[in-house]
């Protein structure tokens, strides 16, 4: 008989039960080993109503502070630009010893926004699950979203070991693989593996759309192959990505600068017929894809 696991928390509050928050709620509901009681809070009454319809939590409310007062763990799942304002509503209401955590895609900016509001008796564990889709909102969540995906943790000096362990267990029970790193390192890594690819996808769609308008041609009707994969990423939420670009500005601009240099080098190789350069770049791309498949990340 499978061992019955004690839930990590008595009451878990998810603030912003969209794609990520509702995926955590779905997992917690399905497994029963994350929290005994689930609360969802959102500034949008429509989101709260949908959470109730989908039965994702025991309670759904627009009153963030009242919800926070009941919770042993508060998980912030709002866009990174809203983290500070939301923390200012929930942190003063939290119980002494309750754990604060967030899932924001940028870490330095979120920690900077939350630090001034933090209380000595509320340990804070910043995290970032590296899993998602182009969809958002409570309907988009998936119980299995985090399985085999990385969840990055960027604990602070003030983060207690007990709080870190509890949040590690929560993500393990969501099926994630865990890795710890510093917040600035996190932001540089995510700038290249997540934020720049989104910037390129939004940009290439814009460029193709301009060309289609200019030439009144069927450019986009024929965009069914390589371009199609960019359009999936380009369908992502504008508010979330606006915030990520603006709140990871320096790391993203650095990676964009490197990319533009490399793209210029490729242009030069094409101009001068440098076959070896072109083949080497393509082979490196193929090798990266192969290693992702082997590592079950593709």
Ligand X SMILES: NC(=O)c1ccc[n+]([C@@H]2O[C@H](COP(=O)([O-])OP(=O)(O)OC[C@H]3O[C@@H](n4cnc5c(N)ncnc54)[C@H](O)[C@@H]3O)[C@@H](O)[C@H]2O)c1
Contact positions vs ligand PRE (CB under 6 A):
105, 130-134, 194, 233, 236
Stretch that binds ligand X, among 66-74, 99-107, 115-123, 184-192 (CB under 6 A): 99-107
Of the candidates 31, 33, 37, 44, which one interacts with ligand X according to CB under 6 A? 44
Rounded-to-integer distance, Cα 99 and Cα 205, Å: 41
84 binds, among ligand X, ligand PRE, none (CB under 5 to 8 A by kind): none
State in angstroms the smallest separation of the CB of 134 from ligand PRE: 5
175 binds, among ligand PRE, ligand X, none (CB under 5 to 8 A by kind): none
Q: End-to-end CA distance of the chain: give it in Å, rounded.
A: 34
- Give the three-state DSSP class for 288: helix
Q: 76: part of which helix (H) or strand (E)?
A: strand 73-76
Task: With CA atoms as reference, report the closest residue to 182 among 156, 161, 210.
Answer: 156
State in angstroms the smallest separation of the CB of 275 from ligand X: 38
State in angstroms the smallest separation of the CB of 105 from ligand PRE: 3
State in angstroms the smallest separation of the CB of 180 from ligand X: 17
Q: Are 61 and 11 in contact (CB under 8 A)?
A: no
Task: With CA atoms as reference, report the closest residue to 127 among 142, 143, 146, 144.
Answer: 146
194 binds, among ligand X, ligand PRE, none (CB under 5 to 8 A by kind): ligand PRE
Q: Are 244 and 195 in contact (CB under 8 A)?
A: yes
Rounded-to-integer distance, Cα 164 and Cα 237, Å: 30
Q: Which is nearer to ligand PRE, 43 or 231 (CB)?
A: 231
74 binds, among ligand PRE, ligand X, none (CB under 5 to 8 A by kind): none
Q: Which is nearer to ligand X, 97 or 184 (CB)?
A: 184
Of the candidates 105, 109, 127, 169, which one interacts with ligand X according to CB under 6 A? 105
Rounded-to-integer distance, Cα 200 and Cα 2, Å: 46
Query: For residues 226, 231, 236 and 237, what is the CA-based torsion angle, rounded to 10 degrees?
Result: 150
40 binds, among ligand PRE, ligand X, none (CB under 5 to 8 A by kind): none
Rounded-to-integer distance, Cα 110 and Cα 114, Å: 6
| Residues in touch with ligand X (CB under 6 A) | 15-16, 18-21, 42-44, 47, 77-80, 82, 85-86, 103-105, 128-129, 132, 136-137, 237, 240, 244
């Amino acid at each position: 008989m499978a061992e019955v696991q004690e839930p990590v928390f008595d009451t878990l509050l998810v603030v912003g039960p969209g794609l990520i928050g509702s995926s955590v709620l779905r997992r917690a509901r399905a497994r029963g080993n994350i929290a005994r009681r689930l609360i969802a809070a959102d500034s949008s009454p429509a989101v709260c109503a949908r959470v109730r319809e989908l039965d994702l939590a025991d309670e759904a409310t627009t009153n963030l502070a009242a919800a926070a007062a009941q919770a042993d763990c508060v998980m912030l799942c709002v866009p990174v630009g809203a983290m500070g304002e939301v923390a200012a509503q929930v942190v003063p209401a939290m119980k002494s010893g309750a754990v604060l955590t967030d899932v924001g895609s940028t870490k330095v900016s979120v920690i900077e926004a939350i630090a001034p509001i933090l209380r000595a008796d509320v340990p804070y564990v910043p995290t970032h699950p590296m899993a998602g889709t182009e969809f958002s909102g409570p309907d988009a969540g998936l119980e299995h979203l985090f399985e085999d995906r990385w969840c990055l943790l960027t604990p602070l000096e003030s983060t207690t070991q007990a709080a870190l362990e509890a949040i590690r267990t929560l993500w393990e029970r969501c099926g994630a693989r865990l890795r710890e790193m510093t917040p600035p390192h996190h932001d540089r890594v995510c700038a290249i593996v997540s934020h720049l690819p989104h910037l390129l996808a939004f940009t290439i769609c814009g460029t193709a759309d301009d060309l289609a308008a200019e030439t009144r041609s069927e450019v986009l009707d024929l965009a069914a192959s390589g371009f199609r994969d960019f359009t999936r990423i380009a369908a992502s939420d504008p508010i979330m990505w606006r915030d990520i670009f603006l709140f990871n500005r320096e790391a993203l601009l650095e990676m964009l600068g490197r990319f533009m240099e490399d793209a210029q080098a490729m242009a030069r190789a094409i101009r001068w017929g440098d076959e070896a350069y072109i083949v080497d770049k393509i082979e490196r791309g193929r090798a990266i894809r192969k290693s992702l498949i082997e590592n079950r990340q593709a």
